[in-house]
Structure 1
Amino acid sequence: MSDALDPINFEFDPLRSTTVTLPSEAVTWAVQIAQRVPDSTQQWSTFLRAMALQGLQQWLESGAVDLALNYDRYQPPDLEIAGRVGNYRLCLVAQGSLSEEVITIPTATLDDASEFAHLYILAEVQEEVNQVTILAGLRRDRLLAQRRTLGLVSQPNGTYRIPIHCFNTTPEDLLLYLTCLNPAQISGPQVSGTETATAPLFTVPQTSPLPTQTRDSINVGRWLLNQLDAVADSLAWTLMPPLAPATALRSMRTPVEQLEDILRDLRPTGVTIPPNARGAYTDLQTMGLPFRLYALTWTLVEPHPPEWTLFLFLGPAPGEQLPPGTRLIMRDATAVLAEQTLAQGNKSGFLYAQAIGTWDEAFTATVELPNGNTLNWPPFVFQPEGADG
């Protein structure tokens, strides 16, 4: 295997155009499907939506990763769910050349517990030149998180009015989500209401501190009780048995054995793990990323007040390699506590970071990919007797 992984797994061509020119048959379909709408006042908006749907399909199919857009070609595009990509339900918002400051979306796309939209995609239609531009996107979980601040109120016509600045997901990130991310991670709550969404696993780069509340946090304190909290379980973490010293390399290694080998390699550097440490790991192959993240925790009994530590290891999935430039970052509420970047030619192939704090402190983990996209986990907290939530 070569040192560099196929870049298709990690990044999309930044030069890829977000504007497509529709062939004549696509325009003809849009005209004909719009004419099927009995209400003549709705035919123009249906035509724009049909043009946008054709443009989205062509854009998705034009990349190195061919994403299939599924929709009913014999019915006018739905106002709510225009199409699907895999398990993603997409709400397509089409606008003409004259942009608006407020976008309307059907309330059902946000509130319907079984048929909500995972992603809202904003597209501009320039019908005079048969062109469609994919402008930006909006994730359901982020819209739910802003629900109160936006003051969303259902309009008499069954829509919400969304400021256009909320559509801040780039087309490149839309492709990354559709290719790599399980849609459940950006769904947010499954019921209507004003509660905020759970912290997403995969987010675009950010510089503001992540929240430190125990709500929607990974409670590693329960690991010491041989329990996995609900948040970690929902994010596909697996609790590991107590570690044992690794004595030899193994050709076929379990996740626990792989971590034991990593710890053995680190022993000459002074890194030691006490026997009372407990840990868990999560694999990211389901997102198309060849990573495995380990987390270990234990208590430090001598300080007063008592302290705990979080030790993170980022390594490749079996048979894979981390791409050079991958970075592991650990933060508390105000600052970066530790970070490591995988250098070109690094033969160890893994990164690690450690933080120590009192029981009321929380830490966050970020993996930054070579293309600048990041994966952020909910805060790690230490509440051994905390409720499982």
Structure 2
Amino acid sequence: MTSYSVNSTDLRLVQPECIWLESEQFEQAVQMSNQVISEACQWQTYLNGLALLSFTQWLEEKLANILIYENCCSLRQPKYANVIEAVCNLIVGEFKLCLITSESLIDEVGTVPIAAIDLPDFAAHFYVVIEVQEELETAIIRGFIRYDELVNYRQVCNLHPEVDWNYSLPLSLFDSEPNHLLFYLRFLDSAAIELPVTYPNYLPRLSVNQPDLETLETLLERLQYPEQTLWQTLTWEQGLTILQSPELLDLLYQWQLTPQRTTSLSIRITEVFTILTQKAINTQQWLEGKLDEFAQGLGLFIPQTLTGNLSVFRSIDKFENVINELRYQGMDIPTEPGRSYQDIDLGEIALRLCAVTWAIDSPIPPPKWSLLVILGTQLGTPLPDGFKLQVSNLRSIIHEPVSGFDDPFLFARVEGRSDEKFVVTIIPPDSSAQTLSPYAFEPS
């Protein structure tokens, strides 16, 4: 690779740093572009690949003793490359860089995704604009800007993003001298440029009842088309939730990538979406014999609130017998756990779900809790063959027992940290699945 200078009548662009592209870089960029779905995204990913490969090689020549790490940048992860047009999380020493790539900057405007500025997972200390001239086999470093300078400009100019979730910035805003960037990377303390920090519960809630997103099914239906993007389907506020959830992004990427979309994938997307966006039932209150208004509104009830309904009492006794039997078989269930019941009509089957919870003594923080769910019928009759009780967290499916011949109950037990949520999905053999509100354990 060779660097050279290009003359320009634009005084701001006198002698920009130009880099020859090499044949193997074109081949690698093609491989990167093949991982995304739509043609438009493929082309941008191809340009991003050329920019990343040439820029990192240039940095290696200029900064021989500084570690450059690009294996975990957004371009190397299809779920991110498919939705973010920039190259985020290029690590150079202690700094995070974001590459803004274009095939032509004749309009003197650089396009920076909102996500690359506002989201802590993608924000960078420096934003570098690179013009990739594929036919000329060159990449030109056109300028860079610090994060704090970019944010200050946005505030002073009251800059608003475009509908496609990007900011349009004048190229004159960027420092066109690459040696200044090299100086910063060598000598500046990264703490001098303060980036946004990830806080607990930073994710905003996304309601599927908002006018432009009536149901999750509508979102999945729209994303079946390869050319459909998130910004064409969601508002930016809605997109925040998805962009900050690697698990959900990965599932949506699989959904768009797979021609034969399975019911199991749809259910899994629904579960993760539910954990991220829906209010959770606080099971810790059950230990005190309490049930808040939210849980009551979902139809949950606890034994202490029942009066005079002998049939319900008899049905509940059968669940209590299951708990005692599991305890007898060796499951470590306290003598007085918290519990609730919920009646669920699924098609023609009247189901009842018993959820049992307790805190787990753990000498090592954080605190942990356990959730035991038992599925049966309201009348105490056996479950139909093929019923599945699926219990999941944000990362994966944990248990999915399936009913067999004359099984009266299904049960599953999970454990997690006090900040971990679980979701239960009831999957009948011949009708639609139902994902319930998530369960949490939140000490008062």
Q: Calculate the TM-score normalised by the size of structure 1.
A: 0.43
Q: Which has the higher helix share?
A: 2
Q: Which of structures 1 and 2 has the bigger CA Rg?
A: 2
